[in-house]
C-alpha cells in the first residue's frame, strides 16, 4: 500500500543508475550508497528501473531484487516509484503487483518494447495494466527515446477512461510538455526529465516536478527550491551552473548511461563499470567528465 498520496508527488525525484561491479553484476553496496547520496541531496522522491537504470539489460529477477533493495534503502522517507518494463500485459501486471508488495507509492508504465503499433493498441494496453493497480499509475511518454508514444489528445483520452492513471512522465521539449499540460486542462501532474534540460522553463509551465538521474540532482533540487521561493535569479544561476554538463550528457540515452553515470561516480567518489553491450568512454569524454566534476564539486554527503 502506498505510504504517500499522489498529491505528494512533486519536486525533484531521482531515478537511479544501474551500478555494476567488475563482473557486470549489480553492486548492492553501490546501489545503497547511491540512494543515500540522493537523499542527502534533498530529493523529494526516488525511483528506479527506468532508462537510466538500463532496465532492458536487467534480468527479471534483477528487476525484482532492485525493487526490494530500493524499498529497504529508502525506508519510506520519500515517495518511491518504479518503472514497469515488460513485453505483455501479464508481465507488466505481475511487476506492478510486486512493486505494490515491495512498498511502491506509484508506478510508471512504459509501452511494451516490441513492435510499433497504432495508438489504440497502446491505449488498450496501458488501460488494462493500469486498471489492475492499487497505487497511482503514470504513463511514460518518451517517443524520442522509446520509439513509440502517444500525442496529447490520446493521453487525454487514456486518462479520462482510466482514472487510476494520475500522472504523466514526459520526456520532451518544454514546448511539447506545455501543450500536454494545456490539453489535459492541468488536471494531471506532469513530470519531465531529459537530464534537466530547460529546467527552469519546465517549472514555469507548471510541471509538478522532474525525474532525473542523480549526477546533477543536487543542483536541480536547489534550483527547484529557489523557484518555489520566488527567487528566479537564483534558480537561473543554478541552472546555468549545471547546463554545460547536462547538454553533454543528454546527447543520447547511451551518453547518459556512459558519461552521466561516470559524472555521478566522480562526484560521489566511487568507481563504476559497464554491462555489455555499452558505449565505452573515450579519453576526450572522460576529460570532460573530470572537468565537470571538478567544477560542480562533490555531491552532498560524498
Beta strands in 135-265 (DSSP E): 137-141, 165-170, 190-192, 209-212
Tell me the per-residue pLDDT of 229-270, one tens digit each, with 9 for 90 and over: 999 999 999 999 999 999 999 999 999 999 999 999 999 999
Domain boundaries, the chain: 6-296
- Give the predicted TM-score (pTM) of the model: 0.95
pLDDT class for 123, splitting at 50, 70, 90?
A: very high
- The pLDDT of residue 3 is 64
Is the CB of residue 51 less than 8 Å from the CB of residue 253? Answer: yes
CA 26 to chain centroid, in Å, comes to: 19
Class of domain 6-296: alpha beta
pLDDT of 148 over the 90 cut: no
7 pLDDT band, cuts 50/70/90, is: low
State the Cα angle at 88 between 150 and 121, rounded to 5°. 35
CB 250 within 8 A of CB 277: no
Tens digits of per-residue pLDDT, 8-35?
799 999 999 999 999 999 999 999 999 9
Amino acid at each position: 500500500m502506498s505510504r504517500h498520496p499522489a498529491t505528494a508527488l512533486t519536486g525533484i525525484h531521482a531515478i537511479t543508475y544501474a551500478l555494476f561491479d567488475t563482473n557486470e553484476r549489480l553492486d548492492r553496496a553501490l546501489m545503497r550508497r547511491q540512494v543515500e547520496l540522493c537523499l542527502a541531496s534533498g530529493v523529494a522522491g526516488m525511483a528506479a528501473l527506468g532508462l537510466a537504470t538500463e532496465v532492458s539489460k536487467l534480468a527479471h529477477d534483477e528487476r525484482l531484487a532492485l525493487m526490494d533493495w530500493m524499498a529497504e534503502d529508502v525506508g519510506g522517507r520519500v515517495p518511491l516509484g518504479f518503472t514497469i518494463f515488460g513485453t505483455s500485459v501479464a508481465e507488466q501486471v505481475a511487476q506492478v503487483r510486486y512493486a505494490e508488495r515491495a512498498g511502491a507509492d506509484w508506478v510508471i508504465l512504459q509501452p511494451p518494447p516490441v513492435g510499433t503499433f497504432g495508438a489504440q493498441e497502446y491505449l488498450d494496453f496501458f488501460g488494462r495494466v493500469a486498471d489492475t493497480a492499487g497505487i497511482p499509475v503514470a504513463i511514460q511518454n518518451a517517443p524520442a527515446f522509446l520509439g513509440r508514444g502517444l500525442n496529447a489528445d490520446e493521453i487525454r483520452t487514456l486518462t479520462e477512461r482510466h482514472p487510476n492513471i494520475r500522472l504523466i512522465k514526459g520526456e520532451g521539449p518544454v514546448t511539447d510538455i506545455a501543450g500536454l499540460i494545456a490539453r489535459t486542462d492541468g488536471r494531471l501532474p506532469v513530470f519531465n526529465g531529459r537530464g534537466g534540460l530547460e529546467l527552469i522553463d519546465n517549472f514555469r509551465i507548471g510541471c509538478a516536478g522532474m525525474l532525473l538521474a542523480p549526477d546533477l540532482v543536487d543542483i536541480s533540487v536547489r534550483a527547484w527550491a529557489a523557484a518555489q521561493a520566488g527567487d528566479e535569479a537564483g534558480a537561473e544561476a543554478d541552472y546555468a551552473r549545471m547546463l554545460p554538463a547536462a547538454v553533454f550528457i543528454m546527447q543520447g540515452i547511451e551518453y547518459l548511461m556512459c558519461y552521466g553515470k561516470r559524472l555521478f561516480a566522480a562526484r560521489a567518489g566511487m568507481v563504476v563499470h559497464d554491462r555489455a553491450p555499452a558505449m565505452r568512454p573515450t579519453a576526450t569524454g572522460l576529460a570532460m567528465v573530470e572537468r565537470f566534476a571538478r567544477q560542480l564539486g562533490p555531491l552532498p554527503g560524498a
